[in-house]
Every structure is written in structure tokens, then in C-alpha cells.
Amino acid sequence: MNNPLLNKFNTKYNTAPFSEIKNTHFKPAFEAAILSGKKEIDEICSNTENPTFQNTVVELEFSGMKLKCVSSVFFNLNSAETNDEIQKIAQEVSPLLSEFANDIRLNEDLFNRVKVIFDKKEELNLSIEQDTLITNQYKMFVRNGANLNVKDKAKLRELDKKLSKLSLKFGENILAETNAFECLITDKNELKGLPEGAVEAAKMSASEKGKKGWLITLDYPSYVPFMTYIENRALREKLSKAFGARGFQNNKNDNQKAVLEIVRLRYDRANLLGYKTHADFVLEERMAENPLKVQSFLEELLAKARPAALNELKEIEDLAGEDGIEKMQKWDGAYYSEKLKKKLFDFDDEQLKPYFKLENVIDGVFTIANKLYDLKFKEVFDIDTYNKDVKTYIVTQKNEEFVAVFYADFFPREGKRNGAWMTSYKDQWKIQDDNSRPHISIVCNFTKPTETKPSLLTFNEVTTLFHEFGHALHGMLANTTYPSISGTNVYWDFVELPSQIFENWCFEKDALDLFAKHYKTGENLPMDLVQKIKDSANFLEGMATLRQLSFGMLDMAWHGKNPKNITDVKAFENKAFDNTQLYPDVAKNCMSTAFSHIFQGGYSSGYYSYKWAEVLDADAFEAFKENGIFDKETAGKFKEYILSKGGTEKPMTLYKKFRGKEPNSDALLKRAGLLT
């Protein structure tokens, strides 16, 4: 069988030939690529020459490239365009990949060759990047069991296989639960309060499924407006409870056992490797360094945010009381928050949406990237995609120099998980004189266009697009030699800096004037609305901060202690939420069973990093505000030391090279209005 995944991609820019790839190609491609990878490792180990940086460290770095290519295509599709067949293949190949990874990490001959280089690295006159690479490789072996005895190495392999399958299953269950729920409304009166665009989108969703009426789902573009605007409290309750019950319904998609097993296996793995907890293992390779520092960081912010959050909640409760609601519930939060915002600032998201046509916002991020970093984006139609909705762009800089291929996938559909993320199909690296450029993608779930309106974004969706595009810039502007430390391959509590800092331009008039134009008239967003965006930037910031802290504390509760005695997921979660809970508990809802960031994604013991990176981004953006938000010199330094350097040096070293000093948390507290 001719397998396009195993051939050199015969496409412009060597992009993935999606239309030629069939599901049946994946498993044979994985098996062949693993065999090829094993052969490359064997050649390194059997080399009779003494270990050198080139014949060991570099050869190891560039081994398994075909497998990385197959994996990136497959697992990105499993997130953005999955189906039952792809999910079945994922369950079959994940243990193979786990086994192969352990074949490398537990290979004594390979480790010994790397150790020879590591032990004498001071004598080798290595560059900063080379020093980082050999240090990372050595740590990779040690942190993954190279020093274990034979029996413990076998245990580690078994743990990794189980964790790999459980993580996949967790995500599949959430997707199935999200897709399984539908709320069909046949009486238009029940939609009172819902904006016209959301009503039209619900009608279109029903029509696409061959149904009459208005279909509401748990996909964010459907769920969020519903919870924000629907006057019918009983319907808000129904949707809220359905969303909160995902993975917690004692059915075939239940995730309670998976949660308990994942945290126990992670704890066992950490213990096996000599660490007290999974959090201790993870945080050794983070800016935060250890669980104690993370806990102190979260508690310091909690002390500032909780009083503000309680005051904000009182304001919302008073407003709800005017409607006769004696006790606020979770399904009342978004609805009365929006009413309070309208009351305090005399505007709401619906007034802003006509100015945020998706195509205009895309042009906006491109224009801002051009003003800051001299990048140009040209939409092209000859790059293969996995779905007709995916847009493709060629990114260039001065003198038309090729920078990257950029994919953008904006709308929800069945087979695509909720949320928004940046990913890559190919990293950047250098071999001799060839600077091999990256293929970067962002995937979102925005409001779809309807028969009468284009895709009009909420302001929250605008900031989401800027956030993911900030990640994309980190990937696109990568300029390092080695793929494992290129682009977003940095410490997890540093990776959110480029994304979160880019959100700041959404609040600046000079930036908004570039793209916030009425989709019918072309008029700029009026100055009074720009001012209201700025005035309301800190609206309910105490509650928003408390919410993020609650997720970080739940993450650390699961991973920062021995989980062996936990038997009840819900009871444990409630205890973790003790100091951050604002609304009454809903017995049939559970956060943990749908907490994909930590049980499916890479954020276990790392959810705190969103707030950690906010300290960095608030401090970093101060430099732009001091010098001008489009100041070329400041942008040039940010590009040179943050966006292009990847993980070549320690994050704080790179940050200080950009900023000239360590970050100050006062910038975040000041921006959030929490500085007293």
C-alpha cells in the first residue's frame, strides 16, 4: 500500500497532504516510523567511535523525525477532526508510542553515551544552545528512569502505557458527553433575552440536524450566549447542570475512575523516580521550581482576590434580588454579571459584536503582527487541509523571506473538541545552512456565520483569538538550531507569556482602530465604546481571579499529595474548593471529571501557570506602554529574547534580557484593580 505519511511530502513547503491520507494509513505509518526510529537509535548506540556531541547528542535530537511527523498529523486530527475510527487507532497506537519512548529513555547504552558528553561538557566549548540541549537530554534520561534497576524500569513502562491510554479515554469521554447533549426548543418565547444572532445560529443548528426549532448544545458558541442572556432561569439551570455533569453521570462515559487512576499512577511514577509527588516531579522543570512556591503564589493572590470577589458577588446578588432570587446559583452568575455590566457601564457584548467581524479581527492580528514584527500574511488556496473550513496562509517578512505556513480553523463541528488551542504540524530547526521553517495552526470554536450575518465575535472571542495568535507568533518566529528547544518548547509556566501579552492590544484604542469596524457601515468602534472596554476591563476581576485560582488549587490538590486514600472524586473536589467557592454546590456536577487541561492536556501540576504568566505579561506590557504599544525597539527585543529563542536558555534569563529586570507582581495587581 502506498502510504503518503511515509513518503517525503511532495507538496509546496512540504505540508501534510491531508486529502491523500486515509485513516487506514495511520497505524501502518506509526509501525513503520517506530521501526525506523529504533534503527536510528541502534545506529547511535552501535557507533564504535567515542561519543561526541555530533555523533550522539545531535543524532539523537534529529532521530525519529518521521515518527514526529506522523504523530503531529494524527493527534492534531484526533483533536480537531476525530471520529470513532481515529479514536480506536489512538487507543491502539498510544501504547506503542509509550513503549518506544521508554525504549529510548531506558536504553542504557544510549544513556551512557549521553552521560559521557554531559560529564565533560565544560571542556567542549559549547554554545548556550548546545549546552541546553545536552543538559535537557541528560535530564530526560534521569527523570525518566535511566538510573532505575531492571525491575523498576519494567514497572515504569507499565505505568506509562496505562497513563497514555487513560488520558486518551478521558478526552474521548468528554467529547462524547458534549456531543450527546442537545436541547431542542420549539417555543420561541423560551428564547427571550437571547441575541438575534444566537437565535439564528440555534435555528441553523437545528436545521443542520433535520429538526424544527432552535437547537442549543454544549459547544461554547452555543452554550455561553445561552447562559449569559436567556431570561428563562429553568432553562439556564438545565444547560448549566448538563455542562457540569460531563464525565460524572455513572454511564459509559464516566470519568471518575479515570481521574482516580490517573492521579494514583502519576503518584506511583513520581515515587518510582524518587520524587515525593507528581507535582514535585513536574515542577522541578518549571520556573516555579516546587509545590511550596506554587502554593504560596496561589495563596498570595487568593488573599488579594477573595475580598474583592465577595464584594462583587454581593453586587450581583443584590441585582438578582430585584428579580426575587433569594439565593444565587451557578446558572445565575453569567446572566446577572452581564446585567450588572450593562447597568454599571451602559453597554454589553451585543453592542460590540457588530464591530468584531471575524475577517476584520483576523486582519487586525495580522496588521498588529506586521507593525510589531514586520510579518506579512497572504491567504493561499493551494495548501491541502483536513476540513473545508480551515484557512491557510503563507507568512513572510522583509524581502519576502519565508517565515511559516499558518493554518486557522475557527468554527465548531462534531468531531472537534471544545475550546481553543495552538499547535504545530512541523517545528522549526536548522541543519547546516538550511533554516527549516514551521507549520503552525490555531484551532478555535467561534460563532459561525448565519444566513444573514457574518461571524461576529464577542469581545471574549476576540481576546481568545489574540491569545492563540500570540502562541502562534511564538511558533512562527522560532529561530533556533534544535527542534526540541524551538518555538513553544519552553517551560509550561513561561509558554503563556507570548499568548497573554498579545491580548493587551485588544484594549488599546490605537490597536482597535485598525480592525474594530462595523460590519455594515465600516465605521470605527466609537470612542465611547472603546472607553467602556477599558473602564470595564477589571469588571468582576476578583471573581475571575478566584475562579482561575480555584482551578490551580484543585490541580495542586490532586497532584501535590498522596492520592491513594481518595475514593470519592466529588467530595475531594469540594474540599479543594473550600476557600474559592462562591456559589452553592450542585450535587450532580463535578469539575474534575471534565478538567481536560490536567487529565488530558499537559497542564497537570501546571494550571497555576496561567496566573504566573499573567505576572510576566503585565510586567512585560508595561515596557510597551512606557515606549509605545507599537514601538519597534521594544518589539524587536521581545522578538529576539522571547519569541525567537524558544527554550534555549532558562526563562528568567531570557526575560531579564528583554526587560532588564525580574518581573514585579504589582503590575498584575494594578492592572486587575486588586492593588490596595
List pLDDT tens digits, range 246-282: 999 999 999 999 999 999 999 999 999 999 999 999 9
256-347+541-603: CATH topology is: Neurolysin; domain 3 (1.10.1370)
**Is 256-347+541-603's fold the same as 354-535+610-671's?**
yes
Q: How far is CA 39 from CA 34, 35, 62, 141, in A?
A: 9, 6, 13, 19
| Ranges of each domain in the chain | 12-147, 181-244, 256-347+541-603, 354-535+610-671
Percent of the chain with pLDDT over 70: 100
Q: Which residues contact 84 (CB under 8 A, 6 or more apart)?
A: none
468 is catalytic: yes
Is 432's pLDDT higher than 90? Answer: no
**Domain boundaries 12-147, corresponding CATH code:** 1.20.1050.40
3-state secondary structure of 396: strand
As a whole number, mean pLDDT of residues 594-603 equals 93
- Max Cα-Cα span within the chain: 82
- Of 447, 452, 451, nearest to 464 by C-alpha is 447
More reliable by pLDDT, 14 or 667: 14
Q: What is the mean pLDDT of the chain?
A: 95
* Residue 146 to residue 138: CA distance in whole angstroms: 9
Count of Cβ atoms closer than 10 Å to residue 675 Cβ = 12
List helix spans (H) across 560-650.
569-576, 596-599, 609-627, 632-638
List helix spans (H) across 504-650.
509-515, 527-535, 541-559, 569-576, 596-599, 609-627, 632-638
354-535+610-671: CATH topology is: Neurolysin; domain 3 (1.10.1370)
Q: What is the pLDDT of residue 666?
A: 81
Q: What is the pLDDT of residue 671?
A: 84
From 468, 508, 541, 573, active-site residue: 468
Is 664's pLDDT higher than 90? Answer: no
Q: Residue-wise over 116-133: b if at least 16 C-beta within 10 A, else e?
A: ebbeebeeeebeebbbbb
Q: What is the pLDDT of residue 563?
A: 97
- Of 155, 362, 319, 333, nearest to 236 by C-alpha is 333
Q: What is the pLDDT of residue 1?
A: 64
Read off the pLDDT of residues 335-389 as tens digits, 9 standing for 90 and up: 999 999 999 998 888 899 999 999 999 999 999 999 999 999 999 999 999 999 9
3-state secondary structure of 97: helix
Contact indicator for 323, 168 with CB cutoff of 8 Å: no
Is 286's pLDDT higher than 80? Answer: yes
Torsion angle defined by CA atoms of residues 22, 24, 29 and 31, in that order, rounded to the nearest 10 degrees: 160
Contact indicator for 361, 462 with CB cutoff of 8 Å: yes
Read off the pLDDT of residues 182-209 as tens digits, 9 standing for 90 and up: 999 999 999 999 999 899 999 999 999 9
Q: Which amino acid is located at 172 in the chain? A: E
Read off the pLDDT of residues 564-584 as tens digits, 9 standing for 90 and up: 999 999 999 999 999 999 999
